[in-house]
Structure 1
């Protein structure tokens, strides 16, 4: 009787495992299918993608190459999925060569300043996971952004060493440190504070906080700031979901998933958030955040831009003639690459969330 019960329990466990594994395989199929459509979009639009947007695809490429390297070869389905990922990597490699050449021709100064970011090798993939901490959420948050694009760009070039020809890297000025460690910043200011620490770490800069004389921050580390920022970005995303995704909030929602996931915070990879991202993709052209109603307006704006060649265009977003948001597409594919890597490694005991 006991042996029969054990056999029954074993059979139930096998069925449960098959159901879970089957579901995960289906989700990975969905992610790979979505990324393939995203790659097709990049292949068509590579001449028109801004540097900031191309970086999102390069983050994806780093994630895909890591996924291919560590992919479990446990069954034919898994092996077939890895083959699909390998083909996707090859497609992206070819497109990047063309896109980077176009970027250099279109905006050489900006290209020179941020060239180190234009390699998938720059972007490090998490080798262990951690989680956010609700107790670190700010008591109050500013109602307006405390982010200045020009200062942020300058601070990043000082880290990268591209502030002048053969410049010294890892320079942290007081204005940069004060801005990037300021508490209470919302939305894009918050995500760019995290991006600053992320890029510093990947550039190999040690002790970004050296020279900070504030007694209240005496024991703060770069990892402390990352946890504070992502804990507040988690709160932002939870608020956005509770209130309902809108055209105004969906971009920052996905950007938070991308960069906090890439920093190693696994609790951003929620299954329902993944479904929100997948539903945003346009089936026809493969981009994310497409607004067909503004296509004619964009064409009109492009004509105006040709008549006014010196008018400054915001670099961090570009609505293409097909109505696609290049920024949302870039952060979406990067976030999906993060989901893929997490699903492939979550069973690895060395990469489970840290206590």
Structure 2
């Protein structure tokens, strides 16, 4: 009874904390200030893309996943604006700006792919399908959490390794060692990539895994595995993972955005933002992300975290393969590829949600 009451109180506190998304009237109250913040977001997104444009010969595969995400999310946003142009607070100047950013992201991706393939052909062979044009045009509607999602206590430390995560992604594409057939998913991978209780990059990679499987057309096989394991629907699995990511993001915020967690914080907003979860988007969170951009070096910088520095949990079963965030690549002047990539992914979603809020406000 006491445990149930504690669960109820915690849930109530979480709902109160996150009941108003960033694009609400409470979070964006002053119109002039809001417009300044919005255009600062566009400016920083463009500067980040220009960094990738300068370095397209040197970036890694994960960076181009990021530029494809920017391209895909702006494509979806522009489609929605075009469908109902009078509903959106978008003038000709802003429309040109959005098209320009989308085209810039596409151009970077197209130019960089041959260099990415040449620099790591094995990695490209395994998961290069993620770089296909249009792959990241996720079209989820904006939504809030229901408050009924399962949650688990936060535990520090990672529980999966990146190599195993990539091998599980390769099963979707038929490029791994398990099978050459597309969408042939092993029980080992499914259980490892959908098991509850993860935090950190391990948790964000679970969302990444589900997104990729659905986008590549492997839903039938995913449904088979989740029914076999008596799991909830794929949408509920994603909602559960994103809900726990939101709770972790709030902890990062409450702890003052420690530098070592900023990269993860932006990755959480990028991945779950694409799935429509607008509760990741608070104006003070956006201001923090904008402040981390290094104007002097024209990119996102900071302390690069590598696998040797990552804290792991002790594995509790053979299914738990330790993972860290996707590999960082420092470039000239201390610019960081992964950090800049997740920043771009978060910023493009802020553009979406601010415009959506303004569209709703316009109708009301």
Return the match for 1:193 from 198, 206, 209: 206
1:289 aligns to 2:301 (yes or no): yes
Aligned residues: 310
Residue 144 of structure 1 contacts residue 186 of structure 1 at CA under 8 Å; is this kept in 2?
Answer: yes
Instruction: Report the equivalent of 1:65.
Output: 75
1:164-203 counterparts in 2 under 5 A?
167-203=180-216
Aligned to 2:279: 267
Contact 2:259 2:302 in 1 (8 A): no
Whether contact under 8 Å (1:137, 1:235) holds in the other structure is no
Q: In structure 2, which of residues 232, 239, 252 is the aligned counterpart of residue 220 of structure 1?
A: 232
Matches within 5 A, 1:294-305: none
- Local SS of the residue matching 2:279: helix
Q: State the Cα RMSD in Å.
A: 2.9
Q: C-alpha distance in 1, partners of 2:111/2:43?
A: 23
Counterpart in the other structure of 1:106: 119
- C-alpha deviation, 1:20, in angstroms: 5.6
Contact kept, 8 Å, 2:140 with 2:274, in 1: the verdict is: no
Match in the other structure for 1:210: 224
- Cα separation, 1, equivalents of 2:235 and 2:149: 13
Q: Residue 77 and residue 61 in structure 1: after superposition, are their counterparts in 2 closer, same or farther (change >3 A)?
A: closer
For residues 138 and 198 of structure 1, the distance between their equivalents in structure 2, rounded to whole angstroms, comes to 20
* C-alpha spacing 1:263/1:325, structure 2 compared with 1 (3 Å): same
Q: 1:97 aligns with which of 107, 110, 113?
A: 110
* Partner residue, 1:307: none
**Residue 298 of structure 1 corresponds to which residue in structure 2?**
none
- For 2:48, the equivalent position in structure 1 comes to 38
CA distance in structure 2 between the partners assigned to 1:30 and 1:120 by the alignment = 27
In the TM superposition, residue 78 of structure 1 has moved relative to its aligned partner by 2.5
The 5 A counterparts of 1:7-26 are 22-26=32-36
Q: 1:60 Cα shift?
A: 0.8
Residue 82 of structure 1, CA deviation: 1.5
Task: State the alpha-carbon separation in 1 of the partners of residues 301 and 147 from structure 2.
Answer: 30
> CA separation of 1:80/1:209 partners in 2, compared to 1, >3 Å: closer, same or farther?
same
Partner of 2:11: none
Counterpart-to-counterpart distance in 2, 1:23 and 1:120 = 35
Q: Paired residue for 2:241?
A: 229
Aligned-pair distance for 1:224?
A: 1.3
Residue among 325, 347, 354 paired with 1:336: 347
CA shift in 2, pair 1:93/1:227, >3 Å: closer
Structure of larger gyration radius: 1
Alignment of 1:86 onto 2:99: yes
TM-score by length of structure 2 reads 0.77
Which structure 2 residue ranges, 5 or more long, are not aligned?
1-28, 306-324
In structure 2, what is the equivalent of residue 15 of structure 1?
none
- Equivalent-residue separation in structure 2 for 1:75 and 1:195 (angstroms): 30
Seen in structure 2, the aligned counterparts of structure 1 residues 315 and 239 have a Cα distance that, compared at 3 Å, is closer
Residue 53 (structure 1) shift:
2.0
- Which of 312, 316, 339 pairs up with 2:327? 316
* TM-score, length-scaled by structure 1: 0.79
1:140 aligns with 2:150: no
Gaps of 5+ in 1: 1-18, 295-313, 350-355
Verify the 8 A CA contact 1:67 1:344 in the aligned structure 2: no
Contact 1:73 1:79 survives alignment (8 Å): no
Aligned counterparts of 1:84 and 1:196: Cα–Cα separation in 2: 32
Query: Within 2, Cα distance between the matches of 1:280 and 1:348?
Result: 28
Q: Distance in 2 between matches of 1:325 and 1:258?
A: 17
Alignment CA distance shift 1:145-1:74 (3 Å):
closer
- The corresponding residue for 1:48 is 58
Cα offset, 1:31, TM superposition = 1.6
